[in-house]
A and B are shown apart, each in its own frame.
Chain A
Amino acid sequence: MNTLAHWVEAPIAKALGWTLIHFVWEGVLIAALLAAVLALRGTASARFRYVLACVAMLAMPAAFGVTLARLWQSPAGVARAPGNARRPGGAVLSLSQAPAVPAQPAMASLAKPGPESPVAWVVPFWMLGVFAFHVRMLGGWVAAQRLRRVGVCRAPDAWQRRFQGLGERLCLTRPVALLESCLGEVPVVIGLLRPVVLVPVGMLAGLPVEQVEWILIHELAHIRRHDYLVNLLQSFIEGLLFYHPSVWWVSEVIRAERENCCDDVVVAVNGDARGYAAALAALEAHRGPVPEPALAATGGSLMRRIRRLLQQPEGPRAEGLRATLAPLFMAGILLVSVVAALSAWQTKPVPASGAARPAAAPATLETPRQAAPQAAQQETEPAAGDAQNSDDQTGDQSSSTATQSGNGTKQAPEKLKLLAQQIAQPRSFQPEIETPYRKWLNEDVAYIITDEERAAFKRLTTDPELERFIEQFWLRRDPTPGTAENEFKEEHYRRIAYANDHFASNDLPGWKTDRGRIYISYGPPDEKDSHPAGGTYQRPTEQGGGTTSVFPFEQWRYRYIKGMGNDVTIEFVDSTMSGEYRMTMDPSDKDALPYVRGAAPAVATTDKLFHVGVSRTTGMATITVPLFAVSGQRPLNIYGTITTLGGRIVTRFEETSYEESGLQDAVFQKSFPLAAGSYSIEVTVSANGVAPMIWNKAFEVK
């Protein structure tokens, strides 16, 4: 406490304390100026309002800094400051906006001027607040960064290309990734240097394409305007001057106008304000119902934005020389007045209000000519009130315009109802497409239709549209357009027929089997190695060599498959002996020996280090997993299952090993009591950053 008391007596603390108190009226002044200008120029463009609000926001810390610098450099200023504090103190009380806490020391200091004024005691509390706000901001930043890493996947290629195209249309130089997130509920932009656009999973497929595009344009506009950076700075200033409501108000203005600016960009690109407004409403509806109604008590910002969007094409905007000069003029006045007020107040208290008056003049008030200290306070107060009034007026105007437009001719209610339903309902609730077309989509072209085409097809409703789509679908793929034959289509249906003839199993039509799928997708293989009877098989050396007994299997070799590379070998195994060959990625899947009683375990193991020992006396099976063979970071996750020959899972276990990675003999051991019989065990050891190791083995308990 003593050190704190000692520190508080330092000149910097006193200067800070007084700066904090002076900022109370400075903040009010800046906010009042902003409110006045915004109210006067109610029809100004969103950009103008945004720039103005940003200037006001920057003026806040600037005023704070200038005040602090002046107070600190002239220690006399600190001593004399109490004499000047009458006005800010009064302003606080009359406006009753700012917290009363800083006002109290100010008033106290009036009675007791001197170097040990208690004003400096405000400083530790302020610092605590700044610290808390900035810690919260840092935490939020970390949470936001996490949001772009966790639970995301890249949007499908078709959307990725479309997204790049939109970026080029907005003249974006940086590449932006489009990710789908399962955690976010609304589309957002995250990131400063490598920004990403996160959209909630399901939005891309759930909304009409053009609506999604408009919303993506909105997000790209945020990136082009560097809104993420501005928002960070803004949050920083909020944290620094957290105690002043004016700062939060100005910040709120910036946030609202920022969205308006991006809305304007979208309308400028697509030219359809009504459609975009509907897209916003659809997006909001897509988000689902609100769980807590208490939060939503305040007026909706979405409503305001949609009102604004709808009014834009009607209300003629006075964009002229005056409008272009106005921002500069206003911003200039704002800055000059703040600086002038500051310097004048510091040196000569009396002309200070005179200097401040031109700044308040745009509010068109009758300014009293006396340069009394109270004048400034009276000016700011009605100015703020006036701003409030004009705000209300604009609100009234907008609502009256809206009702006017509503009183127009009432036509085509059917179509509107349909439209409203479309907006109201997520796409998934739409009735399914008629059967022949659904069959076409889900059977005929199931393997070759792209995600984008599928989405487009699902949006079509009428038969002629669907017919046309199918026609176009084949036309796009015709290798020889212009001729009557479509070789692609013929070959495709030939493949389906072939698959149905050759690959059908007991319970699946040929096209639905794995072999059918590969055949239809990639055509006949370049080489085919068929072992329809299974039996003895000479294992290739790279798989361990030796002889083994296998299920019926086929190996198909393709010299090249687009997207998969050269020399692709696909193996199909009929492990159920039902005629249905299943695609497998593990060459050991065809091994039949693990399932043959007594033939285990020598051939079934894929790694000698992995060991299963069975005690003859107790029947306990002990597995030994060589953890030292697993590279990658610790801890390791060990997951295993023991199954009977019939595939029934007897037991499963999941464990975490914290063994150091350097240990040469680190192993994992676990024992299981098992009834007599044949089993197979599979153990997966996974580590961060590397592929998991998988061991499997068949063994027998006698």
Chain B
Amino acid sequence: MPEKPETPPRPTDGELEILTVLWSRGPSTVREVHEAITRRKPAQYTTVLKLLQIMADKGLVRRNAEMRAHVYQASRPKEWTQRQLAGDLLQRAFGGSAKSLIVGALAARKTTREELAEVRQLLDEYEKGTK
């Protein structure tokens, strides 16, 4: 194999979907990826296979050489890709607005390490109190 590009290019939407499956399921065969994708929308097996091969060439996924053939895994952690996609114009312009439109269990703002430590302490103290 020729050397991989240093930094893989930004994944396209289709590639991102496959990456999501790989992050979710861990290293997977083409069949497993294909199965996961067809749960949501119809897709050809060969499409997935070809996409995975192209992604391997681009350096977005790795073919696992130690295990059986056809087992792929994402070459980068999802945080890396998230940072790549943060440059997306739509996200940059309206990401904040989108966050206030969707509802979820946690606030859009992250909690600091200190606050988290405080929360944990509170939980522990509560546990002690009830014992």
Contact = CB atoms under 8 A, between A and B. Distances in A.
Interface stretch (A320-328, A417-425, A523-531, A615-623): A417-425
A620 to B, nearest CB: 22
Q: How large is the interface on A (under 10, 10 to 19, 20 to 34, 35 or more residues)?
A: 35 or more
Nearest to B47: A691
B36 A302 contact: no
Interface of B: 1-2, 13, 16-17, 19-21, 23-25, 35-37, 39-40, 44-47, 49-50, 54, 57, 67-70, 78-79, 81-82, 85, 90-91, 93-113, 115-116, 118-120, 122-131
Interface string A450-473: 010000000000000000000000
Contacts of A232: 101
Given A141-B98, A154-B40, A412-B131, A405 B126 contact: yes
B24 A153 contact: yes
Contacts of B125: 402, 405-406, 408
B53 to A, nearest CB: 8
Given A182-B16, A202-B23, A692 B101 contact: no
Contacts, number: 256
Contact of B127 (A136, A189, A302, A419): A419
Top 10 nearest A-B pairs by Cβ distance?
Answer: A140-B97, A139-B94, A405-B129, A406-B125, A408-B129, A188-B104, A143-B98, A154-B39, A691-B44, A140-B98
A151 B13 contact: yes
Contact of A406 (B36, B50, B128): B128
Interface string A277-308: 11011011101111001011000111100110
B67 to A, nearest CB: 7
Interface of A: 136-137, 139-144, 146-147, 149-157, 179-183, 185-190, 201-202, 204-205, 215, 218-219, 222, 227-228, 231-232, 235, 258-259, 262, 274, 277-278, 280-281, 283-285, 287-290, 293, 295-296, 300-303, 306-307, 310, 402, 404-412, 416, 419-420, 423-424, 451, 508, 512-514, 517, 563, 582-583, 585, 639, 641, 648-649, 652, 684, 686, 691-692, 694
A684 B64 CA distance: 23
A153 B125 CA distance: 39
The SS class assigned to the B binding surface is helix
Nearest to A144: B98
Contact of A201 (B24, B100, B113, B118): B24
Contacts of B25: 156, 451
Contact of B16 (A151, A289, A402, A508): A151
6 contacts: A189-B104, A284-B106, A284-B111, A684-B50, A692-B50, A694-B50
Given A146-B90, A258-B103, A517-B68, 10 more contacts: A139-B90, A141-B98, A181-B20, A182-B23, A186-B106, A215-B105, A300-B111, A408-B128, A514-B70, A686-B50
Contacts of B98: 139-141, 143-144, 147
A409 B131 contact: yes
Contacts of A152: 17, 20, 40
A285 B112 CA distance: 9
Contacts of B91: 143
Contacts of A285: 116
Nearest to A146: B90
B74 to A, nearest CB: 9
Nearest to A654: B54
A139 B50 contact: no
A140 B107 contact: no
Contacts of B67: 512
A416 B40 contact: no
B104 to A, nearest CB: 4
Contact of B20 (A151, A303, A692): A151
Given A139-B94, A143-B97, A284-B116, A219 B104 contact: yes
Contacts of A274: 123, 126-127, 130
Contacts of B57: 641, 652
Given A140-B97, A189-B104, A281 B70 contact: no
A137 B50 contact: no
B112 A290 contact: yes
Contacts of A204: 24
B99 to A, nearest CB: 8
Contact of B101 (A137, A287, A307, A405): A137
Contacts of B69: 514, 582-583
A582 B113 CA distance: 49
A307 B122 contact: yes
Which of B103, B105, B116 has its CB near the most chain A CB atoms (within 10 A)?
B105
B11 to A, nearest CB: 9
Contacts of B102: 144, 147, 188-190, 228, 231
Contacts of B100: 140, 231, 235
Contacts of B19: 151, 182
Nearest to B113: A289
Contacts of A147: 98, 102
B72 to A, nearest CB: 14
A512 B70 CA distance: 12
A163 to B, nearest CB: 13
A641 B57 CA distance: 10
A277 B81 CA distance: 31
A585 B45 contact: yes
Nearest to A274: B126
A276 B107 CA distance: 16
A513 B69 CA distance: 8
Which of B35, B40, B104, B113 has its CB near the most chain A CB atoms (within 10 A)?
B104
B66 to A, nearest CB: 10
Contacts of B103: 188-189, 222, 227-228, 231, 258
A185 B118 CA distance: 22
B54 A419 contact: no
A179 B131 CA distance: 39
Given A143-B94, A278-B123, A296-B115, A411 B81 contact: no
Contacts of B23: 182, 201-202
Contacts of B123: 274, 277-278, 281, 306, 310, 419-420, 423
Given A136-B94, A219-B105, A514-B69, A182 B20 contact: yes
Contacts of B96: 140
B58 to A, nearest CB: 9
